[in-house]
């Protein structure tokens, strides 16, 4: 249906002016008009509304007799001072007394303009249309000596009393401005209606029940899902006090106490009319001001069906492991000790924290621990926390609902915690997780539940966590880059994987294993004494991962190439990783230096006659940690 506006003209002259300005709009029915009639003034606005006017322009008495009696906006075609002055200047041509008849709502300061008018002028005011005839009839006895100046109705009475009159008309510019403003109002009303209809349609088709209350606690929104879940129609509850209808939702009124916007969302499990629901409560604001509280909730049984769906997806994905404890080559006592602890850790269900340099095989050991646990038949999910951006890591870990953000997969996506339900999740390089995400991760570990991005219901979890870091988390806690509460939540069982340079006895067996794996005949190679010295002298900054790469190059090219060092084996044997005295070629291992310093401090304290318990207390560590430092430093002290 085409949009249209109505105009209640107060004179034939105004009607003709509007017709001359908007001939096409009047012809097409976009503008409909009526001339003000004192007999029908109370009904004329309603008639224009019935004929499709979505806004009405009226003037003086016509405006005040229409405003509030129709449901559409009413815009005042105001009488401006210049319009009155123009009518007065026209009336002066009659060389008679001037009688200016204005509504009590029209403003004109005669004292301000009387020197310009230079004519005798009488001001007459009326408040009701019924008073106009009496005001004009006062001058019937001198009708030939006066000129009536006013709107349509005063002038119509002047005409009937055979008086001269001048109608106060609006300029073309004023008419255009008012009509333009009216069209803008009509279009805004349509846009608002459209937005409201879209919002209502969206809210009625979401799966969650939605209730909103205003700052006074009255229900202002109640979608179809809420009607179904709570067995109440919107007509029964809208504009009523929430606590009068649903006293069980008293949690919503907590946000009304401060009447301030609150960016936090509150998740609660509550009982409403014998239905257990997961509720998400948040405050609403407009232009920074508190306007009410919103609550969305759903039947908790939906969570159970979601868990069944997740289990089905788990079976499809086949999130399994490749490595067991026997796949790890360990001849060196340092590595044997690590594996021995791993076996004991595997029999427990506690959270594990693995420490080791890059390439030492942290994920391989994590899979082995999982396979030794009672969760071995359940999923094993690994994620490298350093390989993803914060936002991507969050969506991967916690999952998201459809439409949660631009590019979100249709139907949503379960997070890795969901996929690991019943099994183990391996969080590699957790030391790279941002503080913001650490907070969310801590909540998941503490509460054993997760909420997808864009969702308002929780999913219970049963997951074992194995985390790994390639640097000391305790140092990161001390410098403020890692949350202490998350550190203590993860650091229940601690296991250190020694770097390859500290497990010398494993280098040759691992090298031979890789060469055998990459060669066509899969036979164990014969390695000369010189190459053995090179392999054992090299410090392997890339650990087992680097050794595997070197092995593959050895099989392909038939020579040992240590990261571009070619056959300069004598340098490697004599200097290890240092192949020149140039700064860019030198490598200083700060961790190795720290271990050296720790060993010297421990030796100094022992020389003073202190026991292991006393030394552990002085250093602020446990006795087991002290033994680990002593054992891990022995390999270095032999160099």
Positive or negative, the Cα torsion across 540, 543, 544, 550? negative
- Residue 68: inside a domain: yes
Burial class of residue 237 in the structure, from the number of CB atoms within 10 Å of its CB (0-12 exposed, 13-18 middle, 19+ buried): buried
Only one residue has tokens 């948040």, namely: 282
Q: Is 504 found in the same domain as 489?
A: no
Number of domains in the chain: 6
Say what percent of the chain tops pLDDT 70: 85
> Using the 8-state DSSP alphabet, how is residue 524 labeled?
P
pLDDT digits (tens, 9 = 90+) for 194-231: 766 666 667 666 778 888 888 888 988 888 888 888 88
Q: Is 389 found in the same domain as 258?
A: no
**Which of 32, 624, 99, 533 has the alpha carbon at shortest distance from 337?**
624
Extract the runs of DSSP E, i.e. beta strands, from 263-420.
266-272, 275-286, 289-299, 352-355, 380-384, 399-400, 413-414
> Using the 8-state DSSP alphabet, how is residue 94 labeled?
G
pLDDT score of 599 more than 60:
yes
Q: Is 330 found in the same domain as 282?
A: no
Taking the mean position of all CA atoms in its chain, how far away is CA 463?
A: 27
Work out the pLDDT band at 318, boundaries 50, 70, 90: low
What CATH number should be reported for the domain holding residue 154?
A: 3.40.50.10660
Q: Is 553 found in the same domain as 434?
A: no
Alpha-carbon gap, residue 560 to 249, rounded angstroms: 73
Q: Are 479 and 473 in contact (CB under 8 A)?
A: no
- Residue 490: inside a domain: yes
Only one residue has tokens 């004494």, namely: 529
- Residue 191: inside a domain: no
Counted residue by residue, the chain has a size of 639
- pTM given for the model: 0.45
Cβ neighbors of 522 (< 8 A, separation 6 or more) are 516
pLDDT score of 89 more than 90:
no
Q: Are 441 and 486 in contact (CB under 8 A)?
A: yes
End-to-end alpha carbon distance in the chain = 91
pLDDT digits (tens, 9 = 90+) for 341-360: 999 999 999 999 999 999 99
pLDDT score of 594 more than 90:
no
Q: Are 452 and 459 in contact (CB under 8 A)?
A: yes
Q: Is 412 found in the same domain as 315?
A: yes
Q: Is 128 found in the same domain as 96?
A: yes
Cβ neighbors of 630 (< 8 A, separation 6 or more) are 599, 602
- Residue 380: inside a domain: yes
Domain that holds residue 604: 591-637
pLDDT score of 574 more than 60:
no
The predicted structure's pLDDT at residue 583: 44
Q: Is 480 found in the same domain as 340?
A: yes
Q: Is 385 found in the same domain as 286?
A: no
- Residue 483: inside a domain: yes
Q: Is 461 found in the same domain as 340?
A: yes
Alpha-carbon gap, residue 238 to 240, rounded angstroms: 5
The predicted structure's pLDDT at residue 637: 44
């Amino acid at each position: 249906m085409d949009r249209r506006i109505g105009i209640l003209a107060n004179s034939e002259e105004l009607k003709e002016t509007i017709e001359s300005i908007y001939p096409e709009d009047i012809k097409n029915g976009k503008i409909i008009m009526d001339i003000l009639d004192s007999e029908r003034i109370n009904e004329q606005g309603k008639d224009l509304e019935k004929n499709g006017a979505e806004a009405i322009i009226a003037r003086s008495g016509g405006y005040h007799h229409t405003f509030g009696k129709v449901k559409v906006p009413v815009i005042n075609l105001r009488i401006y001072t210049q319009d009155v002055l123009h009518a007065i200047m026209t009336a002066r041509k009659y060389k008679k007394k001037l009688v200016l008849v204005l509504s009590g709502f029209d403003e004109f300061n005669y004292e301000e303009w009387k020197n310009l008018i230079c004519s005798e002028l009488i001001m007459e005011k009326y408040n009701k249309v019924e008073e106009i005839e009496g005001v004009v009839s006062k001058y019937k006895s001198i009708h030939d000596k006066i000129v009536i100046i006013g709107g349509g109705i005063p002038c119509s009475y002047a005409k009937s009393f055979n008086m001269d009159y001048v109608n106060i008309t609006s300029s073309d510019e004023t008419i255009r401005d008012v009509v333009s403003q009216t069209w803008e109002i009509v279009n805004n009303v349509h846009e608002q209606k459209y937005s409201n209809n879209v919002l209502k349609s969206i809210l009625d088709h979401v799966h969650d029940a939605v209730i909103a209350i205003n700052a006074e606690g009255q229900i202002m929104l109640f979608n179809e899902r809420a009607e179904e879940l709570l067995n109440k129609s919107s007509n029964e509850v809208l504009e009523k006090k929430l606590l009068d209808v649903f006293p069980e939702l008293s949690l919503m009124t907590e946000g009304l106490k401060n009447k301030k916007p609150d960016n936090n969302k509150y998740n609660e499990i509550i009982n409403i009319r014998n239905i257990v629901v997961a509720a998400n409560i948040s405050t609403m604001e407009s232009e920074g001001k508190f306007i009410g509280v919103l609550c969305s909730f759903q039947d908790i049984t939906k969570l159970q069906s979601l868990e069944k769906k997740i289990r089905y997806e788990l079976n499809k994905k086949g999130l399994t492991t490749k490595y067991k404890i026997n796949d790890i080559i360990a001849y060196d006592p340092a590595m044997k000790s690590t594996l021995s602890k791993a076996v004991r850790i595997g029999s427990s269900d506690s959270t594990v924290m693995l420490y080791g340099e890059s390439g030492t095989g942290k994920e391989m050991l994590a899979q082995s621990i999982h396979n030794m646990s009672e969760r071995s038949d359940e999923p094993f999910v690994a994620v490298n926390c350093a390989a993803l951006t914060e936002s991507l890591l969050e969506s991967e870990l916690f999952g998201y609902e459809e439409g949660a953000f631009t590019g979100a997969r249709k139907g949503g996506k379960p997070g890795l915690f969901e996929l690991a339900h019943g099994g183990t999740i391996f969080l590699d390089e957790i030391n790279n997780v941002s503080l913001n995400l650490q907070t969310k991760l801590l909540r998941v570990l503490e509460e054993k539940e997760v909420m997808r991005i864009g969702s308002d219901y929780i999913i219970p979890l049963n997951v074992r966590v194995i985390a790994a870091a390639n640097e000391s988390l305790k140092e990161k806690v001390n410098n403020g880059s890692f949350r202490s509460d998350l550190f203590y939540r993860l650091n229940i069982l601690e296991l250190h994987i020694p770097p390859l340079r500290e497990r010398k006895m494993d280098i040759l067996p691992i090298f031979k294993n890789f060469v055998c794996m990459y060669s066509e005949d899969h036979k164990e190679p014969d390695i000369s004494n010189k190459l053995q010295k090179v392999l054992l002298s090299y410090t392997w900054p890339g650990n087992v991962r680097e050794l595997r790469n070197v092995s593959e190059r050895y099989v392909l090219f038939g020579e040992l190439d240590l990261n571009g060092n070619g056959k300069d084996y004598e340098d490697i044997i004599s200097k290890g990783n240092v192949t020149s005295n140039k700064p860019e070629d030198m490598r200083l291992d700060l961790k190795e230096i720290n271990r050296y310093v720790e060993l010297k401090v421990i030796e100094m304290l022992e020389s003073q006659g202190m026991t292991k318990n006393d030394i552990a207390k002085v250093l602020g560590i446990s006795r087991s940690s002290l033994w680990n430092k002593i054992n891990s430093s022995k390999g270095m002290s032999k160099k």
